[in-house]
Structure 1
Amino acid sequence: MAVSMDTVEEHTGGTNPNPSQEWVYQRPAMPDENRLEMPVQSLTKWSRSERRSWIHPALHHGSWLIRLFVFGGMLVLTAFGAWEMYKVVEVGGVTFLEWALVCLFVLNFSWIALAFTAGVAGFVYLLFHRRTTQPLPQQLSTRTAVLMPIYNEAPSRVFGAMQAIIESVEQTGLGRAFDYFFVSDTTDPNVWIAEERAFLAMRKRLGPDIQLWYHHRQRNTNRKAGNIANWVTRWGGSYDHMLVLDADSLMTGSSVVQLAAAMERDPDAGIIQTLPLIINRNTLFARIQQFAARVYGPVIAEGLSLWMGHDGNYWGHNAIIRTKAFAAHCGMPDLSGRPPFGGHILSHDFVEAALIRRAGYAVYMLNDITGSYEESPPSLIDLSARDRRWCQGNLQHSRVIGSKGFHPCTRQHFANGIFSYLASPLWLLQLLVGLTIALQAHFIRREYFTDEFSLFPTWPVFNAELALALFGGTMGILLAPKIFGLIIMLLDGPNRRASGGGIRLTLSVLLEIILSALLAPVMMLIQSGAVFEILVGRDSGWKPQRRDDGSIPFRDIVKRHRSHTVLGLFAGVAAYVISPYLFTWMSPTILGLLLAIPLSWASGQLALGLWLRRHGILATPEETHPPEVATRANALSTELAAVGEDDSDAIEVVYKDAGFRALHETMLPTSASRERGRFEQDRVMAQAKIAEAASIEEAAKWLNSKERFVALHDRSLIASLSRLHEPAKVEPA
């Protein structure tokens, strides 16, 4: 619905505020609807006849050999590790606790063995294969919608990023193949109104040739998955593909165009995922993540891509999706029961990949497409808050993994995600069992001869030499993918120089390994606590992420980590009392827990990160030579933030700017008729407060956030607000 010029003139005293921008006021916020049906999919009923056949089957075969290597190698390594662990404890017979220790070791070792064999595959591939990027196509015959879902984000950041993406796409000469959508689930009324103003201003800056659209949902049902589904069912019919971003996503125009071209080349593709690199990070913790993703990420991602083939996974953003296939096969079911294991599936992206693959569409990753970026949490506490939601979503997959018709690789993706969080409590349990065995051997009277008949005594001892060798081997397998990544970077001249040179690059890897080792036991306890909370039925909720580089108050850090420090102190004293050798063996874990508070504080410090940056430590090529799209996005975000609209009071803006008020009302959905006798509490309270207020200042003071949100969605309440008087100005005596 467009606003008429008469309406704008009426609200602005009969004068068009800017006659050269008439199209901004005449063009609706969203295009005409073109609906698609999106039926909810069943996880228990499915027939093989529902799976489509490949159009080009030759494109989707050839991964079996690499899978044999990766999973066969994992099984061989795990079997060898299990045997070695058995030999460590079998001296004099194996007790129940020692059997438990062996089982826990095997579970944990299999996890790192799989990462190792996949890393070997990725390392060998990158060592002998030069990446080649497809040239940009001369034209595109399909239309793609670029979707930016937002939820209570700073508008200056997301609108600056989107404009940089659009300008980069336009530089390719293929911009007419793309439309751009902001799909908002924002619940903060001030942020919501700031989004609308940023959208209108961006339209003016880019001009009428850019197809830019904005839609806001009043109720964010099913969160991001529901937001995307709402767009698909109402407007998806007009687009062959949708390229889904996240609020911190950034992509170059060439990567956007190459994804669309890849979809055109492969009619069997359902989802094509890129490998986003982390950029724009400055705190110590975020720079560690940024560096690790850049140096080790390509090796891990290449190994993952090789064995996945066309039976891959989807991580929810920086990926292109075939719209009609998604609508037909990815309607997200709710799980029976209440959260955390029931209700809406939080990690919906894994399930969407599983459903579209079940339908006969390929899901794969194109690592050769560069220019895909994201950001990361600025501190350990911020990461743990996001991780809590991911943990719940991944554990929910325990109810999805057995669904009918899923590909075996899909089930492996689910298992991998589940175990990524179960690994922490299993590691903790392994440490506790080992400590219990040591306590038993030290404090309990040794019963070398039991009541059972035996020619030999039961000796509660370990083979120390074998234990040391096994520990060294396990650490080597754990660290190998990082060493592989370092070697690849050292052999790549431009990337090596852009990362500070060989010496700084090696020092950066050593620093990352040390800091990651110290943070690992803290993350182990945080994730173990998250798993426990989920098992006892605590829901994570859904809070917006903190994306800035500001530090968390020190008192909050102490409160979050004091239990970790106490546990580290207890474990250190207990281990030293039992045996200095046990204390030495546990020292990395003990030290990490004892330093939990200062480490967490340091992780969020901007000054530490910038100091390392100045000295070329933890540097990445994208930091040394920032991509043009990132430089432009940062500049735009700074310019937009300086305008100050991010923090404007929504009530004041709608009251004082009559022209904007008219446009705002056109962006509201048509009001549904209220059922007689049913009243919404927030609306009733908002209406009463507005009616009672003597001035707009009083109304703004009395309305809470939820009441503001409701009032700004209601045309009649907006009209009531507009009729209020401004407070009388007191003249100085």
Structure 2
Amino acid sequence: MDGTTTELRPATDLAHLPPVPPEVTLAMPVQNLRAWKGPRPTRVDGRPSGWTLFARLFVFGSAIALSAFGIRQMVEVVKAGGIVGLEWPLIVLFGVTFSWIALSAASGIAGFVAGFFERARKTPEPRPLRTRTALIMPVYNESPARTMAALEAMGNEIAALGAGDNFEIFILSDTTDPTVWIEEEIAFMRLRHKLAGRMAVWYRRRHKNIARKAGNVADFVTRWGGRYEHMLVLDADSLMSGSTLTMLAQLMEDDPKAGIIQTLPVIVNRNTLFARLQQFAGRVYGPVIARGLAVWSGRDGNYWGHNAIIRTVAFAQSCGLPDIRGRKPFGGHIMSHDFVEAALIRRSGWGVYMVPWLGGSYEESPPSLLDVAARDRRWAQGNLQHMAVLPSRGLAWPSRIHFATGIMSYLASPIWLALLLVGLALALQAKFIRPEYFSKEFSLYPAWPRFDSERALQLFLITMFVLLLPKLLGTIETLLQPRLRRQCGGALGIVASLLLETLLSALVAPVMMLLQSRHVIEILSGRDSGWSTQRRDDGGIPVAEVIRHHWQHAAIGVFMGLAAYVISPAIVAWMAPTLIGLVLAVPVSWASGSAAAGLALKRLDLMMIPEETDAPTIIVEANLLQAETEAELPEVEDGLTLVVADPRVRELHERLLLPAPLRERGKPELEPVMAEAKIREATSLEEALRWLSTKERLAVLARPQLVSELQRLATVSEPAPTIVPQGEMPVAVS
């Protein structure tokens, strides 16, 4: 402990309450992606509204027209000497890239226009709820103080609204760190005491985290899903206001055909330079982009895996995910399960839509460029895996568009890289390779690459405008709202932040291009991403680690710059935005994780968001409760040692253990067998603990008889140190 003591209170009935409620099972049949005999989704849920059809016509019609214009201009640029050789791939690569940003721009325009109607919308009046919703938080080696404080803050607000009986908190642990496991249990009991009499709190840790988060949620649905009409899915960094949570449940009750209702989470609570860029972009540009997506998707929307409410029966009926045929990384468990679950629920006729007008939904950003890259590797594999799901039978066509955009979000980087390399090769060809003046085909003119430089400059400016249009529209929308404008630092602050964010994003983009290109190559060559815990605090990254990850990017930038200079200084100017970002990869990446740089911008009223200048109550309370929780929880150095040393912790741990799944006869698990053998051969507790691996420690904690064997060693050797002094254990364990 840090010196803070907690007053011990007598044990209550909570001490005898089981960790989980009685099971009320739901069947969750595995879905067949190759066949579908059900009706078309629109026949069950109704055809799209007139507004949705108009939005789709506008967005996709505008994107096609804009793409055709851009491709036509590129053809005009290169056809001066006739289109030959590498000019064809240049046109194709440019066309794919330009079409991608044209769709984003058209969707942004639709979102900007829809904003005027949205601001005139009246939020439904709250009313008493009739159903029960599980507030589920899947966790995987996360900080228990952070997650429990967020759940406590949400529970307090729900209870204050009189809806405590309509919600139950359910913590779904897939934790594989034995120390974090014990910390979770202590923190859970503390949370249960804090919300006692106002809201039920449950905790389940899986013995095997099969299929990752998707398997974690599926296990909950099949065992306890029948107890709840809805489940509201959170991430470990999620936070939602009580009014938003209750309103989502009310919307579900009012729309019996709704399967998923997705909110727009706002990024908050971080102070590093990179996180502040993400917060500003998400808050200022994000609503326009999300609203555009919402208006053309209609009830054929998407799901982002968290901060959304789901009808439990619809999920059970539709979302039993099959394993994809083949080996990893394309085969096996579906990694990016959320897109697939949305598509399958929609296939079954349930509506899936977003409510960007409903605020009070928050999440946090990774603190640095390297943290984003680590997360992006896993996301890239999950999205590319969707290529196997894309041709599934019975899907609504907007669901296929969602899959395609997710896939393209990662293929765009290698396509951009290929575009740069083809352009460099064309310049190299024009500089050093003699043109073929007399080809086999009759021609009065020699054939060699020639470009219309004036038209090329015009096309570059058009491309930049289309690329930046969603940002410009988001900025204009913010400037037009006086209260929002003041909360974001005023007109000058917003414009300065726009320019700074655009500049820094331009420096980061080439590095992300190379990182994502490498990810795609690794995935295509068969390398699996694994499942790592995401770093969520504001701590910086050592310079040595930044150099280790980025020296190759800087070297590539220098090499490409020298090669371009040898060819032509004009090529250097054309590639300058990319080259500068690569050459400065190390300092930019290091600065991205700097809290000092982010706080300096904050003092200048730059990159400000309303949630900082006028913080919502739920954010303030969650931050205060996290500090309080960290102060009250014990500092656990080693979870297994604490269980052996302290009988109160051991009693709590054994009370929260759920029965292990039955194994097949004749196939014993390796870890328990090895752990038991090591414990029996050890002559002291210290020796046994030193021999046990992490997986073996987990096996010991899952089996009380092995813990008893360690206790036997503790009695014949020197007494194990007491991690938590008597009288300082939180009330949760007392």
TM-score, with structure 2 as normaliser: 0.94
* 1:152 corresponding residue in structure 2: 141
**Using a 3 Å threshold, how does the CA distance of structure 1 residues 124 and 25 change in structure 2: closer, same or farther?**
same
The code of the aligned residue for 1:581 comes to: A
Output the CA distance in 2 between the equivalents of 1:647 and 1:474: 55
CA offsets 1:317-359 (integer angstroms, 9 cap, x no match): 0000000111011101110111110001110100000100000
The answer as to 2:360 corresponding to 1:366 is: no
* 2:682 corresponding residue in structure 1: 693
Aligned partners of 2:274 and 2:593 also within 8 Å: yes
1:393-408 correspondence runs (5 A): 393-408=382-397
Aligned partners of 1:575 and 1:582 also within 8 Å: yes
Output the CA distance in 1 between the equivalents of 2:362 and 2:543: 31
Output the CA distance in 2 between the equivalents of 1:678 and 1:47: 39
Output the CA distance in 2 between the equivalents of 1:389 and 1:432: 27
Aligned partners of 1:379 and 1:603 also within 8 Å: yes
The code of the aligned residue for 1:36 comes to: L
* 2:24 corresponding residue in structure 1: 34
Superposition deviation, residue 719 in structure 1: 1.8
* 1:506 corresponding residue in structure 2: 495
More moved, 466-475 vs 547-556: 547-556
1:407-418 correspondence runs (5 A): 407-418=396-407
The answer as to 2:217 corresponding to 1:228 is: yes
Q: Which of residues 343, 348, 366 is equivalent to 1:377?
A: 366
Q: Which of residues 602, 619, 627 is equivalent to 1:638?
A: 627
Q: Which of residues 10, 24, 28 is equivalent to 2:14?
A: 24
Output the CA distance in 2 between the equivalents of 1:287 and 1:673: 48
Output the CA distance in 1 between the equivalents of 2:660 and 2:438: 83
The code of the aligned residue for 2:228 comes to: Y
Aligned partners of 1:425 and 1:524 also within 8 Å: yes
**Using a 3 Å threshold, how does the CA distance of structure 1 residues 729 and 390 change in structure 2: closer, same or farther?**
closer
Aligned partners of 1:568 and 1:590 also within 8 Å: yes
* 2:562 corresponding residue in structure 1: 573
Aligned partners of 2:154 and 2:242 also within 8 Å: yes
Output the CA distance in 2 between the equivalents of 1:707 and 1:527: 36
CA offsets 1:183-214 (integer angstroms, 9 cap, x no match): 00000000011100101111112223320000
1:220-619 correspondence runs (5 A): 220-619=209-608
1:33-182 correspondence runs (5 A): 33-49=23-39, 53-54=43-44, 57=46, 62-127=51-116, 129-130=118-119, 132=121, 134-182=123-171
CA offsets 1:213-259 (integer angstroms, 9 cap, x no match): 00000100000000000000000001100000001100000010010
Output the CA distance in 2 between the equivalents of 1:139 and 1:646: 41
The code of the aligned residue for 2:659 comes to: T
* 2:183 corresponding residue in structure 1: 194
Aligned partners of 1:155 and 1:646 also within 8 Å: no
More moved, 674-683 vs 374-383: 674-683
Aligned partners of 1:156 and 1:646 also within 8 Å: no
Output the CA distance in 1 between the equivalents of 2:550 and 2:113: 41
Output the CA distance in 2 between the equivalents of 1:489 and 1:375: 22
SS at match of 2:12: helix
CA offsets 1:608-642 (integer angstroms, 9 cap, x no match): 11111111111111112221111111111122223
Output the CA distance in 1 between the equivalents of 2:718 and 2:50: 76
* 1:652 corresponding residue in structure 2: 641
Superposition deviation, residue 702 in structure 1: 2.8
Output the CA distance in 1 between the equivalents of 2:263 and 2:445: 61
Superposition deviation, residue 128 in structure 1: 5.2
Superposition deviation, residue 646 in structure 1: 5.6
Output the CA distance in 1 between the equivalents of 2:422 and 2:40: 49
Superposition deviation, residue 672 in structure 1: 5.5
Output the CA distance in 1 between the equivalents of 2:536 and 2:352: 30
SS at match of 1:161: helix
Output the CA distance in 2 between the equivalents of 1:154 and 1:333: 31
More moved, 574-583 vs 253-262: 574-583
Aligned partners of 2:41 and 2:396 also within 8 Å: no
Output the CA distance in 2 between the equivalents of 1:234 and 1:150: 18
SS at match of 1:91: helix
Aligned partners of 1:127 and 1:488 also within 8 Å: no
Output the CA distance in 2 between the equivalents of 1:284 and 1:154: 23
**Using a 3 Å threshold, how does the CA distance of structure 1 residues 59 and 138 change in structure 2: closer, same or farther?**
farther
Output the CA distance in 1 between the equivalents of 2:105 and 2:173: 41
CA offsets 1:457-480 (integer angstroms, 9 cap, x no match): 324210000000000000001001
Superposition deviation, residue 505 in structure 1: 1.1
Output the CA distance in 1 between the equivalents of 2:652 and 2:719: 29
Output the CA distance in 2 between the equivalents of 1:529 and 1:468: 30
More moved, 44-53 vs 590-599: 44-53
Aligned partners of 1:136 and 1:254 also within 8 Å: no
Superposition deviation, residue 431 in structure 1: 0.6
* 2:728 corresponding residue in structure 1: none
Aligned partners of 2:438 and 2:446 also within 8 Å: yes
Aligned partners of 2:42 and 2:48 also within 8 Å: no
Aligned partners of 1:60 and 1:310 also within 8 Å: no
Superposition deviation, residue 154 in structure 1: 0.8
* Count of residues in correspondence between the two structures: 713
Q: Which runs of 5+ in 2 are unaligned?
A: 1-6, 721-734
Q: Which runs of 5+ in 1 are unaligned?
A: 1-16
Superposition deviation, residue 144 in structure 1: 0.5
* 1:5 corresponding residue in structure 2: none
SS at match of 1:90: helix
CA offsets 1:259-313 (integer angstroms, 9 cap, x no match): 0000011011000000000000111011111110001000000111010001000
**Using a 3 Å threshold, how does the CA distance of structure 1 residues 313 and 722 change in structure 2: closer, same or farther?**
same
The code of the aligned residue for 1:573 comes to: L
Aligned partners of 1:91 and 1:459 also within 8 Å: no
Aligned partners of 2:84 and 2:448 also within 8 Å: no
More moved, 206-215 vs 591-600: 206-215
Aligned partners of 1:133 and 1:369 also within 8 Å: no
Aligned partners of 2:383 and 2:403 also within 8 Å: yes
The code of the aligned residue for 1:706 comes to: K
Percent identical among aligned pairs is 54
SS at match of 1:364: strand
**Using a 3 Å threshold, how does the CA distance of structure 1 residues 425 and 717 change in structure 2: closer, same or farther?**
same
Output the CA distance in 2 between the equivalents of 1:358 and 1:660: 48
Output the CA distance in 2 between the equivalents of 1:218 and 1:179: 23
Output the CA distance in 1 between the equivalents of 2:575 and 2:661: 64
